[in-house]
Amino acid sequence: MDLPPSFYLFFALLIGLCFGSFLNVVITRLPVMLMRSWRNEARASLELAEEPSPRFNLATPKSMCPRCEQPIAWHDNLPLLGWLKRRGKCAHCKTPISVQYPLVELMGGVLAVVVVALYGATLSAMFIYGACLTLLALAVIDFRTYLLPDSLTLPLLWAGFAYQLVFQPLLLPSAVIGAMAGYLVLWSFYWLFKLITGKEGMGFGDFKLLAALGAWLGWSMLPLLLILSAGIGAVVGLAAQAVSPKLRGQPLPFGPFLALAGWICLLVGNELMALYTSLLH
């Protein structure tokens, strides 16, 4: 029996909300895990004893309020519904819960619906959705901490090669060139900016993220990707400074704009390239 398309979209929404809920765990805990690891490595290099600390990873401890440290009940941890049920506050101490949690969950659901609507309920759609979720995690982590963890950017890079190998093997050379060119473009810009100003304009994580996107999109999509990310970043930066003048001169992470441009190119990049080509002719 053939199921109506609306069923697949609704099912995708539910699954996407669950993935978005898990993504909040990654976004919140991964930077802490990295900081602890770096601190222990520094202590080891100084021949100091490792600091004793309770076990902390993506599974342990259970979700809890960051203020009162009370565990969150399973029914309050349901994607989006739990936040709405408690009106955005902890059930115990009534501390406001960051709007990040429902927004990331909602984005997980929306991205799932969009990917299934564009690519159907297929294996290739699962790959693309995984890339979109990774970009979402990277964008929020970079916005919060100015970090683009290798534990996310490098798997995204290799997943891009795997996607091309399985679904578009003829484009694998373009993906390899795209990864190399993506890294070298921002690496060159970094050193040019540093030579001229004496300051660092971006971090090495940005190089790796653009390399990963190059692996997914191929070298021909890099100009569009860079134009979109730079344009979005400029608009957001100017708008933020107009709303809050104290932000003038403050650095903005580039990762969220690369991620947003990456979503656009992954989902409708071919259509944009076709439109651009038609306008030229």
Q: Residue 94 and residue 72: Cα distance in Å, rounded?
A: 12
Q: Residue 5 and residue 120: Cα distance in Å, rounded?
A: 9
Half-sphere exposure of 181 (CA within 13 A, CB side): 19
* CA-based nearest residue to 115, from 134, 137, 98, 131: 131
pLDDT value at position 79? 77
Q: Residue 27 and residue 156: Cα distance in Å, rounded?
A: 16
CB 202 within 8 A of CB 141: no
> For residue 35, what are the contacts with CB-CB under 8 A and spacing of at least 6?
none
Helices (H), 120-254: 123-145, 150-167, 172-197, 204-217, 222-243
pLDDT value at position 128? 96
Q: Between the CA of residue 147 and those of 151, 205, 254, what are the distances in Å?
A: 11, 7, 10
CB 138 within 8 A of CB 148: yes
CB 210 within 8 A of CB 181: no
* CA-based nearest residue to 164, from 212, 94, 100, 210: 212
CB 123 within 8 A of CB 130: no
Report the predicted TM-score, pTM, of the whole model to 2 decimal places.
Answer: 0.92
AA identity, residue 78 = L
To which residue do tokens 């609507």 refer?
A: 117
pLDDT value at position 74? 65
Half-sphere exposure of 228 (CA within 13 A, CB side): 23
Q: What is the pLDDT along the chain (281 residues), one digit of tens a residue?
A: 566 778 889 999 999 999 999 999 999 999 999 998 888 888 888 878 777 778 888 888 787 777 776 777 766 677 787 777 777 777 778 778 788 899 999 999 999 999 999 998 899 999 999 999 999 999 999 999 999 999 999 999 999 999 999 999 999 999 999 999 999 999 998 899 888 888 877 888 999 999 999 999 999 999 999 999 999 988 888 887 787 777 676 778 999 999 999 999 999 988 888 887 777 66
SS (H, E, C) 8-53: HHHHHHHHHHHHHHHHHHHHHHHHHHHHHHHHHHHHHHCCCCCCCC
pLDDT value at position 71? 76
